[in-house]
Homo-oligomer: A and B are copies of this chain.
Amino acid sequence: MKGSYRAFVMVGTIPGQDEEVAKKLLAFEEVLEVHFISGDYDLLVIVEISLHGKTIFTPVQEIAQFVVQKIRTVNGIRTTSTMLPLRSITKLE
Contact = CB atoms under 8 A, between A and B. Distances in A.
A23 to B, nearest CB: 8
Contacts of A51: 56
Contact of A15 (B15, B61, B79, B91): B79
A86 B65 CA distance: 8
Interface of A is mostly: mixed
A43 to B, nearest CB: 10
Interface residues of A, number: 56
A54 B33 CA distance: 24
Contacts of A68: 18-19, 36, 86
Contact of A64 (B26, B63, B87): B87
